[in-house]
Amino acid sequence: MAIPLVDLKAQYKTIKDEIDAAIGDVLESQWFILGPKVAELEEKIASYCNAKYGIGVASGSDALLLALMAVDVGHGDEVITTPFTFFATAGSVSRLGAKPVFVDIDPKTYNINPQLIEEKITDKTKAIIPVHLYGQCADMDPILEIASKHDLYVIEDAAQAIGARYKDRKAGTIGHLGCLSFFPTKNLGGYGDGGMILTNDEELMEKIKILRVHGSKPKYHHSVIGFNSRLDALQAAILLAKSEHINEWNEARNRNAGIYNSLFADMDVVTPHVEEFNYSVYNQYVIMVECRDDIKSSLKEAGIGTEVYYPIPLHLQECYSTLGYHAGDLPASEKASKHVIALPVYPELTRGQQKQVVDNIRGFLTK
């Protein structure tokens, strides 16, 4: 039986009536951009994450870009982040004419290593972007301490981590700004692109709300240059309906992660390490194995979906060759890129399906 990496159809079947009704409400209202549904979602997600403000935007990538714009990152500035992440984390920095400065990861959690940050700070450094990779928060307290010492902004890339907790603080609300993605495969995903920025700072909130509508307030009066990054009301309505289930879905992902951990216990596989002070939401369940590419091919032949997040760390991407990094500079990131593989972990996954995944890997490793 085929097992996809993500099964959005299975999820839709469980909430079809709620989703169809939500879409119908928007169609009846004929209010498709921003408006009351978006405002309701902003309030609900901010409350869920324990933030004062939420600002809906067109995507998680735009959330990062707007957050950087809000703290005036621009040409000549430097922003410290991890190379082991989706491209948008660094791409948003580059789009503003700033320079991403890459810091290696903790080899256990795959998140940025706080112990390596301070040595990369210069008089051009403006901000730090920790990424809460795979649904687990980065170690934020030392990052905040460093940022405070050097008067830097902290912008959390929480695209994969809605609902995750760090010492009882929710992802996206620990730094100055937090960025969420509602891409369909996220734990809370829409049926298209969407994102949100979280903050407790009223001034930053107001600035982002202006920036997302071409820098205008009031309409057609432009005090700054922004761009179009408005969240669709249809996406907001869908996300409002789905948000009622986010806790149970996150718990189901944790349950499935626990099952995998047990099934892999006697195998030469490195399972996810979650710090004792963290609650991971397992946007991905990622193992580290030798012969990763061969295992991926074997699972594909068996009809089992997998993915590699991420096969080339950003410091070795062609577009960043001018930054002067070389193979071997950030060894933990480079090792992870060669050996990690994500397995299906969506809430509707059955124990039998998980056993099928693990049995296929066991068969490959013991043949």
Q: Are residues 276 and 155 in the same domain?
A: no
Query: Are 222 and 293 members of one domain?
Result: no
**In a shared domain, residues 81 and 189:** yes
Cβ proximity of 280 and 286 under 8 Å: no
Specify the CATH number for the domain of residue 73: 3.40.640.10
Backbone angles phi, psi at 124, to 5 degrees: -100, -10
Looking only at the bridges linking them, the beta strands covering 153-157 and 125-129 are parallel
Q: What is the pLDDT of residue 69?
A: 98
Do residue 200 and residue 307 come from a single domain? no
Which residue among 210, 243, 276 closes a domain? 243
Please name the residue that has the structure tokens 């009351």: 36
Structure tokens at 75: 């040409």
Tell me how far apart the alpha carbons of residues 250 and 158 are, in angstroms, rounded to a whole number. Answer: 15
Q: Which two tokens stand for residue 367?
A: 């043949």
Per the domain annotation, does 296 fall within a domain? yes
Contact indicator for 241, 22 with CB cutoff of 8 Å: yes
Q: Is 266 helix (H, G, I), strand (E, B) or coil?
A: coil
Query: Cα(314)–Cα(91) distance, rounded to whole angstroms?
Result: 10
Claim to verify: residue 326 and residue 236 sit in the same structural domain: no
Tell me how far apart the alpha carbons of residues 25 and 12 are, in angstroms, rounded to a whole number: 18
Task: Give dist(CA 280, CA 290) in Å, integer.
Answer: 25
* Structural domain ending residue among the three candidates 199, 225, 243: 243
In this structure, the answer to whether residues 193 and 275 fall within a common structural domain is no
Structure tokens of 157?
């890339």
Give residues with Cβ within 8 angstroms of 154, minimum separation 6. Answer: 127, 128, 129, 130, 140, 143, 144, 147, 174, 175, 176, 177
Same domain, 84 and 170: yes
Mark whether 62 and 111 lie in a shared domain: yes
Tell me whether residue 3 is in a domain.
Answer: no
The model scores a pTM over 0.75 = yes
**350 plus 330 within the same structural domain:** yes
Distance CA 13, CA 4 (A): 16
Mark whether 198 and 283 lie in a shared domain: no
Residue 230, token pair as written in the block? 């408005």
Per the domain annotation, does 284 fall within a domain?
yes
Question: Burial, 265: exposed, middle or buried (Cβ in 10 Å; 0-12, 13-18, 19+)?
Answer: exposed
What's the CATH code of the domain at 294? Answer: 3.90.1150.10
Q: Is 12 among the domain residues?
A: yes
Q: Coil, strand or helix: which one is 340?
A: strand
User: From CA 158, how far away is CA 60, in angstroms rounded?
Assistant: 9
Q: State the pLDDT at residue 367.
A: 76
Same domain, yes or no: 335 and 237: no
Q: How far is CA 7 from CA 10, 14, 186, 238, 250, in A?
A: 6, 12, 12, 17, 15
The total number of structural domains in the chain stands at 2
Is-contact 132 138, C-beta < 8 A?
A: yes
Indicate the residue among 243, 269, 298 that finishes a domain: 243
> Could you tell me if 215 and 323 lie in one domain?
no
Task: Report yes or no on 2 lying in a domain.
Answer: no
- Per-residue pLDDT tens listing for the chain (367 residues): 799 999 999 999 999 999 999 999 999 999 888 899 999 999 999 999 999 999 999 999 999 999 999 999 999 999 999 999 999 999 999 999 999 999 999 999 999 999 999 999 999 999 999 999 999 999 999 999 999 999 999 999 999 999 999 999 999 999 999 999 999 999 999 999 999 999 999 999 999 999 999 999 888 899 899 999 999 999 999 999 999 999 999 999 999 999 999 999 999 999 999 999 999 999 999 999 999 999 999 999 999 999 999 999 999 999 999 999 999 999 999 999 999 999 999 999 999 999 999 999 999 998 7
- 351-361 in b/e form (b: 16+ CB < 10 A) is eebbebbbebb
> Which residue is it, tokens 């600035």?
207
Determine the pLDDT at residue 218.
Answer: 86
DSSP state of 116: G
Report the alpha-carbon distance of residue 82 to residue 338 in Å, rounded. 16
**Domain of 51?**
8-243
Residue 283 domain-assigned (yes or no): yes
Give pLDDT, residue 34: 87
**Cα dihedral across residues 222, 226, 232, 235: positive or negative:** negative
Beta strands in 191-275 (DSSP E): 195-199
In a domain, 137, yes or no: yes
342 falls within a domain: yes
